[in-house]
């Protein structure tokens, strides 16, 4: 596939002012009539009207009612010569939604019609200048059979509806806001809605709807509450109000991504809408809340102000992820009350850091590494990445840190005042941030948008007893990434505190300052190396750096075990306290992986026990601090990466912590009971999470009472969090009861697609505790033919294959190469159905060059096999090509 480059951006010679779409919906032959008023773009060079169309049967195309004077086609691009400044172009196309297994464009799910247009799905519906810099006003008429599709939805406001002959009906929708085609949506299906009417801050009454299949109406309340909370939050925090009379969320079971922010008509994967205590875990509740918020927030950051081109994707995604992270933190803090707010925020921050380290750091170190604003791509769908989203959010967070809450808000206000209704670039955003803050210099900061790779910050300190000073040296470097051998220094905010021997933070005074200030301060590292001299200290301090994870970097700091244990016990910043535990655990487990005979150090067990038993600590925090670092992150820290040795070490460490701390875990189980009926509340969720973790350690150790407790909890549970937590513990043991538990769980939820996803994932992610046990691959293969499994449903693929490929490296990378061969087989099968999903699965092996030579050899064969396979999509070709390249 050709490479598209950011530098080649040119505005189109013609854009579109208004679009009138008419859909005659039919499962196999939908006819789309598209009348668009094309207008010459005064800001562009002379040229033809350009439209894109893909997989369309074109029935007719006219310009001002006539056959076009000249029409040229190459691939998906259609060029039409036209005179004058305005031209009415009418295109009729026929499409086959039923045959559309890509889930991009118009497709069927469970008998209903749904669309997904971001990034380039609209061209699979009709011919159009399908680029985000073309913003047009849409009017949409849907016609469908009333019996199968009683509900007809599109963007904006319903302006007309009625009956048609032959059992058909129609509805007409008008969206008052100009929008790019990627935000178009339609739904025609048999759905019901939960409704609520609320007032916006300016007093307008708006109708909110959550549309689902009839049987799911009892699972929409949480999504609705989340929507209302999101609206309030955006009003209070940014002064941003809902701009439509009606806002709809529709849940669909077949969906490539999490959700989509189509104007006024968000379409969601059911996974991020449906929740009730019997089927959803606390984590599911949390995810529903944050995804609902994310899509709602896009209405301003993404829809009202959109991206000029797809290279600017982080403009809307990084900013919107940052907004949803702040929202979730505020919601958690509010629920926790004034006492627990700080810890609640930290727990959310830790969650986000875990995701960044597990998903984004490896991406930044692999063949697909790209800046948050990429310079090129082959297939844009491959760039909805952890880098664009999560690292992009970190970059916005750093801006927020540098400018302060108020400065950031002023920048946002200015952003909307300048750019509302426009398609803009990341430069535009950073420029208004600067302008709103007295010309704050962000030139060097812009390097975060152009440099890939995770920066290293190396810190060292020198204590001088003679004058009570501590000199901190910070040095930065960013490793080379594909196409970027040399990197320049970035602006890195490093939040610093110095901990005294008593465990308390020291007041900080830099050399030259008259008096000491706050205990944590943000240093700006802008050069390759800088020194900061703190004075007026009574004793040698212990540095606590990068508090709150103030920048998306790897911090390299020489700390011995004793110092890590000290920070585990005393660091006043919960993020760093957690991080100290992670670093200590990483050190222990990597030593065990390097030497199968290495013991688990007593001091580590003791430090772990101290956290475990510290009743003053928020249970949710303890659940974070007592969870070992993720396997993906650890593999990233290992050179060469040896997943089998790592797994053996993790198994041994988990078992040892279970055995040696058994009494503590059991006591914790008792202490963490949550009485009363289930409610989704962070305080309860924290207790449940900690109890579930205790069960996992106990079950991993094969502890008889622990297993009995897991079994009992599994049977008596009144909510999914406890039931699934107990099941996961049982499955993560060698106890024979696990098979019976899996069966009982299946029997209870055999008709519940979302719960079955959990059942699939649990088995695909299961560890093998000894060599005598059957490989997990046998189980995964068998589950492929389970009646509930389908390669056509992304959720099922992510649950079974995604979990096995990504969350079970110790099994996937079996020495005989069976996992790798299976990967190739599945990627090839998926490629034919759904290239986007196939490409995501393909990415599971991109970091293969980091592995041991034997594994590299085994993986290379399979990468080459996929690359040589017939009919390879550009999506998969890009991933595999770059991996081998």
Can you give the binding site for Zn ion, defined by CB under 5 A?
317, 320
Active site residue 295: yes
Tokens describing residue 425: 């670039």
User: What's the closest the beta carbon of residue 322 comes to Zn ion, in angstroms?
Assistant: 11
Cβ closest to Zn ion, residue 317 vs residue 846: 317
Identify what 257 binds: Zn ion, ligand DPP, none; CB under 5 to 8 Å per kind: ligand DPP
CA distance 305 to 459: 40
Per the rule left: phi > 0, alpha: psi between -120 and 50, beta: everything else, 207 is beta
Identify what 260 binds: Zn ion, ligand DPP, none; CB under 5 to 8 Å per kind: ligand DPP
Tokens describing residue 546: 């990068």
CA distance 60 to 34: 10
C-alpha distances in Å from residue 439, one per residue of 434, 436, 462 = 5, 7, 36
Comparing every residue's Cβ against ligand DPP, the nearest one is 118
Integer-rounded Cα Rg, in Å, for the chain is 28
User: 266 by DSSP, 3-state: which?
Assistant: strand
User: What's the closest the beta carbon of residue 259 comes to ligand DPP, in angstroms?
Assistant: 6
Q: How many residues appear in the chain?
A: 885
CA distance 39 to 85: 6
**Packing angle of the helix pair 313-355, 282-298 (nearest 10 deg):** 160
Q: Which residues bind ligand DPP (CB under 6 A)?
A: 118, 257, 259-261, 294-295, 317
User: What's the closest the beta carbon of residue 335 comes to Zn ion, in angstroms?
Assistant: 25
CA distance 408 to 400: 6
Sort strands 492-499 and 521-525 into parallel, antiparallel or unpaired. Answer: antiparallel
Half-sphere exposure of 803 (CA within 13 A, CB side): 21
Helices (H) and strands (E) in the chain, counts: 28, 30
> 777 near 801, Cβ under 8 Å?
no
Given the residues 20, 295, 317, 431, select the one marked as catalytic: 295
The H or E element that residue 585 is part of is: helix 574-594
CA distance 83 to 62: 14
> 293 near 700, Cβ under 8 Å?
no
Cβ closest to ligand DPP, residue 300 vs residue 665: 300
Task: List helix spans (H) across 734-817.
Answer: 737-748, 753-764, 776-784, 794-797, 803-807, 809-812
Buried b (16+ CB within 10 A) or exposed e, 836-875: bbbbbbbbbbbbbebbbeebeebbbebbebbbebeebbbb
In sequence order, what are the beta bridge partners of 71? 80
User: What's the closest the beta carbon of residue 377 comes to ligand DPP, in angstroms?
Assistant: 15
Identify what 130 binds: ligand DPP, Zn ion, none; CB under 5 to 8 Å per kind: none
User: What's the closest the beta carbon of residue 321 comes to Zn ion, in angstroms?
Assistant: 7
Identify what 474 binds: Zn ion, ligand DPP, none; CB under 5 to 8 Å per kind: none
User: What residues contact residue 746 under an 8 Å CB cut-off, 6+ apart?
Assistant: 756, 759
Cβ closest to ligand DPP, residue 56 vs residue 259: 259
Sheet of 246-252, strands arranged across:
192-199, 205-212, 246-252, 265-269, 259-260
Identify what 133 binds: ligand DPP, Zn ion, none; CB under 5 to 8 Å per kind: none
CA distance 295 to 290: 9
Intra-chain end-to-end CA distance of the chain, in Å: 14
> 114 near 45, Cβ under 8 Å?
no
Cβ closest to Zn ion, residue 170 vs residue 238: 238
CA distance 842 to 830: 10
Identify what 636 binds: Zn ion, ligand DPP, none; CB under 5 to 8 Å per kind: none
Cβ closest to ligand DPP, residue 370 vs residue 709: 370
User: What's the closest the beta carbon of residue 317 comes to Zn ion, in angstroms?
Assistant: 5
Identify what 259 binds: ligand DPP, Zn ion, none; CB under 5 to 8 Å per kind: ligand DPP
User: What's the closest the beta carbon of residue 286 comes to Zn ion, in angstroms?
Assistant: 17
User: What residues contact residue 787 under an 8 Å CB cut-off, 6+ apart?
Assistant: none
Identify what 213 binds: ligand DPP, Zn ion, none; CB under 5 to 8 Å per kind: none
Tokens describing residue 616: 């003053």
Identify what 363 binds: ligand DPP, Zn ion, none; CB under 5 to 8 Å per kind: none
Identify what 391 binds: Zn ion, ligand DPP, none; CB under 5 to 8 Å per kind: none
Task: Point out the residues that are catalytic.
Answer: 295
């Amino acid at each position: 596939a050709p490479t598209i480059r950011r530098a080649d951006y040119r505005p189109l010679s013609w854009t579109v002012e208004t679009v009138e779409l008419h859909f005659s919906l039919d499962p196999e032959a939908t006819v789309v009539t598209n009348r668009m008023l094309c207008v010459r773009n005064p800001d562009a060079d002379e040229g033809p009207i350009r439209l894109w169309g893909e997989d369309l049967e074109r029935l007719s195309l006219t310009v001002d009612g006539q056959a076009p004077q000249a029409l040229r086609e190459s691939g998906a691009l259609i060029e039409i010569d036209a005179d004058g400044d305005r031209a009415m172009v009418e295109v009729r196309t026929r499409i086959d939604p039923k045959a559309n297994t890509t889930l991009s464009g118009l497709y069927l799910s469970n008998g209903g019609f749904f669309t997904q247009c971001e990034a380039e799905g609209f061209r699979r519906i009709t011919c159009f200048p399908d680029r985000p810099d073309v913003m047009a006003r849409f009017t949409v008429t849907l016609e469908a059979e009333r019996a199968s599709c009683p509900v007809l939805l599109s963007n904006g406001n319903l302006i007309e509806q009625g009956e048609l002959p032959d059992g058909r009906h129609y509805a007409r929708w008008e969206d008052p806001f100009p929008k790019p085609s990627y935000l178009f949506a339609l739904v025609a299906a048999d759905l019901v809605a939960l409704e609520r009417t609320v007032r916006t801050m300016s007093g307008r009454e708006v109708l909110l709807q959550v549309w689902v299949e009839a049987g799911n109406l009892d699972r929409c309340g949480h999504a609705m509450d989340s929507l209302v909370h999101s609206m309030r939050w955006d009003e209070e925090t940014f002064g941003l109000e809902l701009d439509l009379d009606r806002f709809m969320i529709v849940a669909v079971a077949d969906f490539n991504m999490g959700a989509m922010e189509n104007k006024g008509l968000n379409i969601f994967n059911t996974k991020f809408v449906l929740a009730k205590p019997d089927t959803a875990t606390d984590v599911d509740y949390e995810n529903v809340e944050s995804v609902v918020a994310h899509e709602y927030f896009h209405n301003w950051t993404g829809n009202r102000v959109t991206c000029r081109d797809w290279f600017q994707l982080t403009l809307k995604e990084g900013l919107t992820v940052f907004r949803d992270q702040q929202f979730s933190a505020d919601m958690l803090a509010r629920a926790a009350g004034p006492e627990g707010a700080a810890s609640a925020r930290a727990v959310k921050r830790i969650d986000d850091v875990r995701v960044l380290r597990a998903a984004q750091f490896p991406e930044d170190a692999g063949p697909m590494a790209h800046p948050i604003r990429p310079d090129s791509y082959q297939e844009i769908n491959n760039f909805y990445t952890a880098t664009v989203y999560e690292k992009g959010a970190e970059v916005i967070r750093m801006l927020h840190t540098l400018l302060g809450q108020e400065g950031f808000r002023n920048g946002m206000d200015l952003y909307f005042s300048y750019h509302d209704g426009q398609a803009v670039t990341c430069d535009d955003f950073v420029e208004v941030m600067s302008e709103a803050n007295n010309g704050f210099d962000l030139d060097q900061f812009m390097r975060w948008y152009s440099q890939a790779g995770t920066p290293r910050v190396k810190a060292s300190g020198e204590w001088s007893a003679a004058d009570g000073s501590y000199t901190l040296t910070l040095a930065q470097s960013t490793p080379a990434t594909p196409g970027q051998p040399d990197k320049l220094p970035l602006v890195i905010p490093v939040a610093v505190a110095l901990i005294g021997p008593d465990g308390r933070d020291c007041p900080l005074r830099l050399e030259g300052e008259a008096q000491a200030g706050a205990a944590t301060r943000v240093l700006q590292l802008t050069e390759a190396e800088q020194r900061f001299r703190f004075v007026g200290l009574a004793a040698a301090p212990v540095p606590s750096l990068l508090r709150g994870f103030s920048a998306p970097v790897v911090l390299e700091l020489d700390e011995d075990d004793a110092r890590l244990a000290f920070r585990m016990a005393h660091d006043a910043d919960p993020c760093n306290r957690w991080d100290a535990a992670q670093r200590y655990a990483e050190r222990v487990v990597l030593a065990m992986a390097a030497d199968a005979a290495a013991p688990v150090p007593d001091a580590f067990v003791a430090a772990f026990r101290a956290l475990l038993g510290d009743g003053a600590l928020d249970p949710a925090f303890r659940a974070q601090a007592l969870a070992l670092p993720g396997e993906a992150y650890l593999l990233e820290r290992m050179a060469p990466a040896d997943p089998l040795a790592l797994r053996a070490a993790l198994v041994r460490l988990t078992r040892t912590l279970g055995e040696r701390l058994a009494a503590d875990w059991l006591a914790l189980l008792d202490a963490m009971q949550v009485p009363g009926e289930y409610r989704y509340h962070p305080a309860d969720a924290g207790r449940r999470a900690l109890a579930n973790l205790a069960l996992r350690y106990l079950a991993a150790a094969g502890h008889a009472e622990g297993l009995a407790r897991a079994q009992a909890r599994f049977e008596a549970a009144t909510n999914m969090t406890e039931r699934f937590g107990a099941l996961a513990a049982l499955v993560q043991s060698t106890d024979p009861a696990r098979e019976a538990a899996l069966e009982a769980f299946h029997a209870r939820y055999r008709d519940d697609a979302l719960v079955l996803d959990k059942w699939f994932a649990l088995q695909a992610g299961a560890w093998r505790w000894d060599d005598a046990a059957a490989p997990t691959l046998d189980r995964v293969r068998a589950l492929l033919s389970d009646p509930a499994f389908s390669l056509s449903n992304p959720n099922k693929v992510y649950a079974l294959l995604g979990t096995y490929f990504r969350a079970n490296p110790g099994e996937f990378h079996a020495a005989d190469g069976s996992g790798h061969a299976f990967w190739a087989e599945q990627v090839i099968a998926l490629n034919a159905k759904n290239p986007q999903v196939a490409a995501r699965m393909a990415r599971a092996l991109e970091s293969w060059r980091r592995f041991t030579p034997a594994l590299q050899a085994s993986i290379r064969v399979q990468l080459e096999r996929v690359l040589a396979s017939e009919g390879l999509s550009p999506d998969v070709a890009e991933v595999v090509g770059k991996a081998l390249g």
